[in-house]
Amino acid sequence: MSSKKWESNEEIQIFREYLQIPTVHPDVDYTDCVEFLKRQASSLNLPVDVVYPAVKTKPVVIIKWLGSQPELPSIILNSHTDVVPVFREKWTHDPFAADIDEEGRIYARGTQDMKSVGTQYLGAIRLLKASGFQPKRTFYVTFVPDEEIGGELGMKAFVKTDYYKEMNVGFSLDEGATSPTDVHHLFYAERLRWALKLKASGTSGHGSLLLPDTAGVKLNYVVNKLTEFRTSQVQRMAKDSSLSAGDVTTVNLTQLSGGVQSNVVPPSFEAVFDMRIAITVDLVAFEKQIRDWCEEAGGGIEIEFFRKEPLIGPTNMDNSNPYWVALKAAIDELDLKIRPIVCPGATDSRYIREKGTPAFGFSPIINTTMRIHDHDEFLQADVYLNGIEVYKKIIRNLAEV
């Protein structure tokens, strides 16, 4: 199919228009995005609200599809409107032009992560409304800012508002992951994000001397211990093919600082580590092990966990969760292959789960090279359109829970 034929498709046109709005970090301007979403709500004849849970530059857009029994707990269809930065010189297409090639590949930042999901929700609702379907439960299609930088002023702030409380949310659906095979990934939990800063202090002096208890030697000891732990996680994955990235704990040294010149032993060094902790880890024991290593190194090491997310329980995937039963029925009826996994990164679902509400992450993107946060991010037009049909079935099932 030529690119011209794809360009004439209404749903593809809507998707491309959304992609062409550069809601890119840093310093995102969401103005045009909000206006676009208001127009989409109007085209569906659905009411829309814009709320600012934290600051006036961080809007949450909520499109409401009222259910016939609005007293029942509602369902959120969530997506985020922001995208990560681009390195334009690395792209073969303008990252905000949404070009379509002859193979039907749409190139733009946000095609996979995750503007596609937001407009696919709307496309599915358009089909359901056209068929005369009326949901039993109310749906809120939410578009939130700043997910790519942690969601502090987006979903995290939104779930604390009176507006959110009045929504009476019973279940949430959010982003999943791109799959290079025909197996969809379904997120039912997320690893914990921890960030650790170590400041080692010790003897300073001339670089020609073998001074005792230097900051470099102390820090090196702890770095080696953390690297050994990292290696153990690599080996676990190598030995057990059933494990996904979300089943192990990652520890990565991301920043090093200290020193003044080559012949001076400095009084201190600092190191920062990014950690994504598996939900099976004993957090108390894990932190104690790090503190013990710092003592074994000789002491004099300041320990700061400047990010330390709590354990948030996974969403149940059994008959105790009626939303899972409905979702699984839709998956089976569509004959989709699904692999439930722990999200290796972080999504806004964690803020929903923290409120005690079940949440899953699911993106109907299969047989696609993963380009999330990468150059030349793209999505095949037929994959996008098929995703609308998938969400149509899922939404219909969830509506009748």
SS3 43: helix
SS3 60: strand
* Contact by Cβ (8 Å): 262, 358: no
Question: From residue 112, how far is each of 79, 92, 109, 209, 376 by CA, in Å?
Answer: 12, 17, 8, 55, 11
Give me the active site residues, please: 82, 147
Complete DSSP assignment for 283-352: HHHHHHHHHHHHHHTTS-EEEEEEEEPPP-PPPP-STT-HHHHHHHHHHHHTT-EEEEEEESS--THHHH
**In Å, how far from its chain's centre is CA 56?**
23
Complete DSSP assignment for 3-27: HHHHHT-HHHHHHHHHHTS--BSSS
* Contact by Cβ (8 Å): 313, 353: yes
- Nearest to residue 182, comparing CAs of 380, 370, 336, 369? 336
